[in-house]
Structure 1
C-alpha cells in the first residue's frame, strides 16, 4: 500500500487522484499520477513527460517540494525550447 512520510497513514492507490503530484518515497522523485495498478501500486510520470514507473510508497509533496519541482520542470522546458 502507498504510505505517506509525514504521518504514516496509508494512501490506497485507489485514493490517489489522477493528475495529482506525488512523491515516490522509494526513489525520492516526484511525479504525476497517471494510473493505479492492481491495488498496490501507482504509476507516476515525470512532470515534463517521459517513461512512467510504478511506485508502491507515495506521499503528498510539501508546499516547498512542490514549488521546487514545478520550478525545475519549468526551467527544463525553457532550456529545451532554447529560451
Structure 2
C-alpha cells in the first residue's frame, strides 16, 4: 500500500496499487492519483509537476501529453493537462 498526501489538506491518503481515485478521510476531497508503474513515469510526473508549479505550462503540457501517449487511461495526467492549458495554479488561502 502506497501513501500519498491530499492535495487540499495535506492529510495522508492510504491507497492500494493501481487505484486512480482516492477520498481523503480528513477533508472528504475526492482526487485523482497518478499511475506510477515504474521509475521512468514517476520521473516524468516529477518533471511535469516542476514545470507546472513554475508556470512553464507549455513544457509541462508536452510531458503530460507524452504520459498520455503511453497510457491514455491516466486520469491524473488529463487533469494536469487541463490545469496547464488554462494556466491554473493551486494557491493557499490567506
TM above 0.5: no
TM interval, shorter chain, is: 0.3 to 0.5
Scaled by the length of structure 2, what TM-score is found? 0.30
Q: Which has the higher helix share?
A: 2
Scaled by the length of structure 1, what TM-score is found? 0.33
